[in-house]
């Protein structure tokens, strides 16, 4: 059965086995039935009738023409094995598998370690807004044993007369009393507030932190602020964010945990200094803590950013009313005090120093220096001695309280000089001598000290009789006669009131000294009153605060004592007695009030900078100045390094995006910070090259080579800059330097080849241009000599041009001869006898602008009219020659004009081999 018969009988059944006659080239070629061809292809591939590789390939090709998407043409790719990959690829695959297995084991171990179902095992968490739940292992009612087979027998009416109702009710009550009580859940489940995210990636941390924050938001919306704080804390332990800190601060505000809320607000403002939510919430905290001025400042900052913030406007109006109400009280006290509570982490020290340090009444010039203490007479363990106020017997003070005048105690310069002289601005020789003698551990001998006493020494603005009373009191106190000293101080205070003088500073010292006497006699209540009066006259005076704190402590009023001690530390952080007392009282308050003890404290006043004595530093020494200068230099270098790295990274990113002008500015900023960074000069040179600013690029490369003479990038980019400036000799020299430093730089090799050609062409053009620019010096005697030149030229054309060259050398010689003679007709004959596909090979070694121009003229003037198809084929192959694109850029205007003219003439020719569109596409590669 022939193939024609098959096609003429479309109803033929091909479902049976394929005949052997159909496994033939002719039948397969004439068959148009795709399904039958697929069946034939399956038979051939199966090898049932033999193996015919060529016939199978022929059948596949014919089937592909009829139906390229046929299923029979799909070839199954064999399963990849180790032999299918190179050694490097297989090692990479195995490394990936091992890394995956290790990460899977680690994650599985971590999941096993996390007690996910511990809460479910112990007890379920309470349903939100529910006050109680029943344990899983118990039921709400006791299990009653019922026997469905037993039926309750009816009772006789006579039995109801004997039924005791009270007894049955008691039985029922007894059953109910035996029921297990419901467990009241007054608190929250123990939610762990930290999450170990050390093994998570940054993206995983971000997702997990957002998930925990969403849980906190849900709890916040349900008014469960404790749980919200726990989840916000978990989110912050994974990844600290501004929103989580802000949300936790709001939850803490709702719980009235002012210190925690303040800490979160400060964390937000460190991350984002002008965050409006943090400022508004910090203002709320300041308002509740009584710091109205600071709250007002925060609210004004919010309103500067968002003038229409209703919450800020409302809160600011309330605070301004409170400030206006507090203003008369502050004016009556003579000085404005800004109150702020500070939350501080107390350092628990194991210290053997007793809490009360030697702090006593102010010294006068009439009092000798002794090693006593104006402490509490009832609390002897808290004191260190019985002598005067300026003792340095305690090592805790030694080296800390130093004045400018060489005094060993800092308070002698500030406070105690007031006691001696009545004013902190005036001093006396006696008081200075007393200070110097106070450095000894024991008390100074009484007889020798009394010889230098001057009881009539002036004390500030006090009259002479009051000054004498004060000096006598100081002397009695130094000698341990506290009751007599108390009487002298009381007489001085009464005399001050009667005299009507106005010297609050002197009156403050008198009250403070009398308070020290009360403290020594154990009269803590009167000591507190006198210290309070002294502080009203001179707010933030150190010694009255310290003595009042000791009195409060002796009365076991630890909260007020803690506040005064903290205020003392704000004034002078070097008071060791205050540190020790704070640590001791902290432990007592924790035992008394639990973890929330800070919230039960009174407000701690904020001491202004003018009253902070540890801020008044002495003029620094040369070593300190040198150390500060070195530190400032290091900090400046560190900041410059950070800015430098940021500018450099931004410049590199701009280069990757192709934004060279922006990158140029970043690299310039880098050089302002580090003007001797070689890599920045080479990077900026690259930007100049991309912007075709070759002179600036060359300057940067020269600077880079001055800093680093062997820099390959600097040589290479300077070579490109010289090439752009058409200084091919310098470009070639730089490229040779690059290859000498690293022979494997392929880009330098290619550039060197191109530059070598350009250098030769430039030298050739220079030699050709010189005769044109100079005046001919050859003298011609007759006309016969002039006619000899063209004759010789014509003779060279006929002798040297080989019209049918057999090699690239013969073609090159013939083409050079035709070019030299300017014989375009001979050049056209040479091109007509050369195969177009061989033309790029023949021109590979001698392609230049003059040769291309000559070929264009020959094709246009002589060959286009005879054989335009041959001209098209020559042009189609000519642009594939080596270095054609480089030579094309160096063509002069006239040479380009010849090329344009040739394509215009060629596009006007009608041909079956090419169209006008083909000519246009080909012209785009030339012009």
Q: Read off the tokens for 643.
A: 């800015």
Q: Read off the tokens for 730.
A: 């310098």
Of the candidate ranges 165-179, 366-380, 510-524, the one whose mean pLDDT is the lowest = 366-380
Q: Read off the tokens for 581.
A: 């007392």
Q: In the prediction, which pLDDT does 155 show?
A: 61
Q: Read off the tokens for 673.
A: 């910070």
Q: Which has more pLDDT, 143 or 925?
A: 925
Place of tokens 């002794």: 370
- Contacts of the segment 31-37: beta carbons below 8 A, 24+ positions apart: 31/3, 31/6, 31/7, 31/62, 32/7, 32/66, 33/6, 34/63, 34/66, 34/67, 34/70, 37/62, 37/63, 37/66, 37/72
According to DSSP H, which parts of 452-557 are helical?
464-478, 482-499, 504-521, 524-537, 542-554
Q: In the prediction, which pLDDT does 617 show?
A: 54
Confidence of residue 167 (pLDDT cuts 50, 70, 90): confident
Q: In the prediction, which pLDDT does 516 show?
A: 93
The pLDDT tens digits of the residues spanning 516-566 come to 999 988 889 999 999 999 999 888 888 999 999 999 999 988 899 999 999
- pLDDT over 50 at 445, yes or no: no
Q: In the prediction, which pLDDT does 175 show?
A: 53
Q: In the prediction, which pLDDT does 188 show?
A: 54
CA-based end-to-end distance of the chain: 62
Confidence of residue 452 (pLDDT cuts 50, 70, 90): low
Burial class of residue 104 in the structure, from the number of CB atoms within 10 Å of its CB (0-12 exposed, 13-18 middle, 19+ buried):
exposed
Q: In the prediction, which pLDDT does 11 show?
A: 42
The pLDDT tens digits of the residues spanning 858-905 come to 888 888 888 888 898 888 888 888 778 777 777 887 788 888 888 888
Mean pLDDT of 5-21: 56
Query: What whole-number distance in Å separates Cα of residue 261 and Cα of residue 285?
Result: 7
Residue 379's φ and ψ, nearest 5 degrees, are: -120, 75
Query: What whole-number distance in Å separates Cα of residue 196 and Cα of residue 316?
Result: 42
Q: Read off the tokens for 336.
A: 């404005």
Torsion 769-774-780-783 (CA) sign: positive
Of the candidate ranges 49-58, 351-360, 514-523, the one whose mean pLDDT is the lowest = 351-360
Q: Which has more pLDDT, 809 or 283?
A: 283
- pLDDT over 70 at 429, yes or no: no
Within 10 angstroms of residue 559's Cβ, the number of other Cβ atoms is 16
Q: Read off the tokens for 688.
A: 């100049």
Give the 3-state secondary structure of residue 851: helix
Query: What whole-number distance in Å separates Cα of residue 815 and Cα of residue 826?
Result: 9
| Residue spans of beta strands (DSSP E) within 633-771 | none
Assign 3-class secondary structure to 788-842. Answer: HHHHHHHHHHHHHCCCCCCCHHHHHHHHHHHHHHCCHHHHHHHHHCCCHHHHHHH
Q: Read off the tokens for 653.
A: 């990113």
Q: In the prediction, which pLDDT does 749 show?
A: 86
- pLDDT over 60 at 86, yes or no: yes
Q: Do residues 469 and 439 lie in contact, with contact meaning Cβ atoms separated by under 8 Å?
A: no
Q: Do residues 455 and 468 lie in contact, with contact meaning Cβ atoms separated by under 8 Å?
A: yes
- pLDDT over 60 at 67, yes or no: yes
**Cα-based torsion angle of the residue sequence 631, 635, 638, 643 in order, rounded to the nearest 10 degrees:** -160
Per 3-state DSSP, the chain is made up of helix, strand and coil in percentages (nearest 5) of 65, 0, 35
Residue 96 Cα distances to 102, 200, 385, angstroms? 10, 19, 76
Mean pLDDT of 332-361: 39
Query: What whole-number distance in Å separates Cα of residue 731 and Cα of residue 739?
Result: 13
Task: Output DSSP code: residue 339.
Answer: B
Q: In the prediction, which pLDDT does 15 show?
A: 52
Q: In the prediction, which pLDDT does 386 show?
A: 38
**Cα-based torsion angle of the residue sequence 915, 919, 921, 927 in order, rounded to the nearest 10 degrees:** -170
Query: What whole-number distance in Å separates Cα of residue 392 and Cα of residue 370?
Result: 9
Torsion 793-794-800-803 (CA) sign: positive
Mean pLDDT of 113-135: 49
Mean pLDDT of 649-667: 91
Residue 4: half-sphere exposure toward Cβ, Cα within 13 Å: 0
Mean pLDDT of 264-291: 89
Confidence of residue 668 (pLDDT cuts 50, 70, 90): very high
Q: Which has more pLDDT, 577 or 772?
A: 577
Burial class of residue 505 in the structure, from the number of CB atoms within 10 Å of its CB (0-12 exposed, 13-18 middle, 19+ buried):
middle
Q: Which has more pLDDT, 125 or 493?
A: 493
Which residues are 513's β-sheet partners? Answer: none
Mean pLDDT of 5-17: 47
The pLDDT tens digits of the residues spanning 757-792 come to 887 787 666 555 544 444 455 554 444 444 343 433
Mean pLDDT of 444-450: 40
Q: In the prediction, which pLDDT does 72 show?
A: 84
Q: Which has more pLDDT, 671 or 74?
A: 671
Q: In the prediction, which pLDDT does 552 show?
A: 92
pTM for this predicted structure: 0.27
**Mean pLDDT, rounded, of the chain:** 75
Measure the CA angle with vertex 118, ends 112 and 119; round to 5°. Answer: 145
Q: In the prediction, which pLDDT does 372 show?
A: 39
Which residues have CB under 8 Å from 741's CB, separation 6+?
710, 712, 715
Confidence of residue 4 (pLDDT cuts 50, 70, 90): very low
Find which of 38-47, 107-116, 427-436 is predicted with most confidence, using mean pLDDT: 38-47
Q: Do residues 818 and 801 lie in contact, with contact meaning Cβ atoms separated by under 8 Å?
A: yes
Share of the chain above pLDDT 70, in %: 72
Instruction: Select from 298, 327, 421, 305 the least CA-distant residue to 366.
Output: 421
Which residues have CB under 8 Å from 252's CB, separation 6+?
225, 229, 258, 260, 261, 264
Confidence of residue 362 (pLDDT cuts 50, 70, 90): very low
The pLDDT tens digits of the residues spanning 673-710 come to 889 899 999 999 999 999 989 999 999 999 999 999 88
Confidence of residue 420 (pLDDT cuts 50, 70, 90): very low
Mean pLDDT of 617-624: 71
Within 10 angstroms of residue 201's Cβ, the number of other Cβ atoms is 9
Which residues are 605's β-sheet partners? Answer: 339
Place of tokens 């803690």: 562
Q: In the prediction, which pLDDT does 75 show?
A: 73
The pLDDT tens digits of the residues spanning 700-715 come to 999 999 999 889 899 9
Q: In the prediction, which pLDDT does 917 show?
A: 85
Instruction: Select from 377, 368, 374, 369 the least CA-distant residue to 409.
Output: 369
Q: Do residues 542 and 568 lie in contact, with contact meaning Cβ atoms separated by under 8 Å?
A: yes
Mean pLDDT of 180-187: 47
Q: Do residues 310 and 302 lie in contact, with contact meaning Cβ atoms separated by under 8 Å?
A: no
Task: Output DSSP code: residue 133.
Answer: E
Q: In the prediction, which pLDDT does 87 show?
A: 86
Q: Which has more pLDDT, 16 or 609?
A: 609
The pLDDT tens digits of the residues spanning 640-653 come to 888 898 899 999 99
Q: In the prediction, which pLDDT does 653 show?
A: 92
């Amino acid at each position: 059965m022939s193939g024609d018969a098959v096609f003429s009988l479309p109803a033929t059944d091909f479902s049976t086995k394929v005949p052997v006659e159909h496994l033939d080239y002719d039948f397969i070629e004439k068959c148009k039935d795709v399904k039958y061809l697929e069946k034939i292809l399956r038979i051939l591939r199966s090898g049932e009738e033999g193996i015919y590789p060529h016939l199978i390939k022929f059948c596949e090709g014919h089937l592909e023409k009829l139906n390229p998407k046929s299923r029979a043409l799909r070839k199954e790719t064999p399963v990849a094995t180790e032999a299918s990959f190179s050694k490097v690829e297989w090692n990479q695959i195995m490394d990936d598998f091992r890394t995956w297995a290790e990460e899977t084991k680690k994650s599985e171990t971590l999941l096993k370690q996390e007690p996910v179902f511990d809460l479910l095992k112990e007890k379920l968490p309470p349903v939100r807004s529910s006050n109680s739940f029943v344990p899983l292992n118990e039921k709400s009612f006791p299990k009653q044993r019922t026997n469905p087979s037993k039926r309750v027998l009816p009772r006789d009416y006579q039995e109801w007369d004997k039924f005791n109702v009270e007894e049955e009710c008691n039985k029922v009550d007894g059953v109910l009393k035996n029921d297990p009580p419901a467990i009241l859940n007054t608190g929250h489940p123990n939610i762990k507030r930290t999450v170990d995210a050390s093994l998570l990636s940054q993206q995983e941390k971000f997702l997990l932190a957002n998930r925990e924050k969403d849980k906190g938001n849900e709890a916040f919306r349900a008014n469960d602020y404790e749980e919200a704080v726990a989840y916000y804390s978990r989110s912050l332990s994974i990844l600290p964010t501004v929103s989580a800190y802000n949300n936790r601060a709001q939850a803490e505000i709702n719980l009235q945990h002012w210190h925690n809320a303040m800490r979160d607000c400060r964390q937000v403002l460190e991350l984002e200094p002008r965050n409006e939510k943090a400022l508004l919430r910090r203002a709320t905290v300041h308002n509740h803590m009584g710091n109205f001025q600071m709250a007002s400042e925060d609210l004004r900052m919010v309103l500067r950013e968002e003038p229409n913030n209703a919450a800020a406007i409302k809160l600011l109006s309330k605070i301004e009313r409170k400030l206006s109400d507090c203003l008369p009280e502050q004016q009556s006290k003579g000085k404005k005090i800004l109150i702020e509570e500070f939350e501080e982490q107390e350092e628990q020290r194991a210290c053997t120093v007793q809490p009360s340090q030697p702090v006593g009444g102010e010294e006068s010039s009439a009092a000798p220096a002794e090693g006593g203490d104006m402490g509490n007479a009832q609390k002897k363990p808290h004191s260190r001695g019985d002598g005067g106020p300026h003792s340095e017997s305690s090592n805790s003070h030694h080296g800390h309280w130093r004045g400018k005048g060489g005094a060993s105690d800092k308070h002698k310069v500030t406070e105690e000089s007031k006691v001696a002289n009545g004013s902190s601005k005036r001093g006396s020789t006696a008081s200075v001598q007393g200070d110097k003698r106070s450095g000894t551990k024991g008390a100074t001998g009484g007889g020798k000290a009394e010889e230098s006493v001057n009881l009539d020494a002036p004390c500030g603005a006090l009259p002479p009789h009051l000054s004498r009373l004060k000096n006598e009191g100081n002397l009695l106190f130094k000698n341990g006669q506290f009751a007599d000293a108390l009487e002298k101080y009381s007489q001085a205070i009464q005399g001050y009131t009667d005299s009507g003088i106005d010297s609050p500073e002197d009156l403050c010292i008198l009250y403070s000294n009398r308070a020290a006497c009360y403290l020594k006699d154990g009269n803590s209540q009167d000591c507190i009153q006198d210290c309070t009066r002294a502080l009203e006259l001179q707010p933030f005076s150190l010694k009255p605060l310290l003595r009042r704190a000791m009195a409060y402590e002796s009365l076991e009023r630890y909260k007020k004592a803690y506040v005064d001690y903290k205020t003392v530390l704000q004034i002078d952080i070097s008071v060791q007695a205050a540190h020790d007392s704070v640590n001791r009282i902290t432990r007592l308050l924790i035992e008394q009030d639990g973890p929330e003890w800070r919230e039960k404290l009174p407000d701690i006043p904020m001491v202004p900078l003018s009253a902070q004595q540890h801020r008044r530093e002495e003029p620094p020494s040369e070593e300190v100045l040198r150390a500060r200068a070195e530190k400032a230099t290091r900090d400046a270098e560190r900041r410059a390094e950070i800015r430098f790295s940021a500018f450099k990274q931004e410049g590199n990113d701009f280069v990757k995006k192709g934004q060279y002008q922006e990158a140029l500015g970043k690299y310039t900023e880098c050089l302002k910070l580090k003007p001797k960074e070689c890599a920045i000069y080479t990077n900026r040179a690259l930007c100049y090259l991309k912007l075709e600013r070759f002179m600036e690029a060359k300057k940067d490369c020269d600077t880079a080579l001055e800093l680093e003479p062997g820099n390959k990038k600097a040589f290479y980019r300077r070579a490109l800059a010289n090439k752009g400036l058409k200084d091919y000799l310098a470009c070639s020299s730089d490229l040779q330097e690059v290859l000498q430093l690293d022979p494997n730089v392929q880009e330098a090799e290619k550039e060197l080849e191109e530059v070598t050609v350009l250098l030769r062409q430039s030298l050739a053009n220079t030699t050709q241009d010189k005769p044109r620019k100079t005046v001919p010096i050859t003298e011609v005697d007759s006309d016969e000599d002039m006619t000899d030149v063209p004759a010789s030229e014509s003779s060279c054309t006929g002798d040297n041009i080989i019209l049918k060259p057999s090699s690239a050398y013969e073609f090159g010689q013939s083409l050079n001869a035709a070019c030299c003679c300017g014989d375009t007709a001979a050049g056209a004959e040479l091109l007509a006898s050369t195969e177009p596909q061989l033309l790029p090979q023949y021109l590979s070694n001698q392609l230049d602008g003059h040769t291309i121009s000559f070929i264009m003229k020959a094709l246009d003037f002589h060959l286009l009219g005879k054989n335009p198809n041959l001209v098209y084929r020559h042009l189609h192959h000519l642009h594939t020659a080596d270095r054609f694109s480089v030579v094309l850029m160096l063509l002069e205007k006239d040479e380009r004009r010849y090329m344009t003219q040739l394509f215009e003439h060629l596009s006007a020719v009608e041909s079956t081999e090419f169209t006008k569109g083909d000519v246009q596409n080909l012209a785009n590669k030339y012009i």
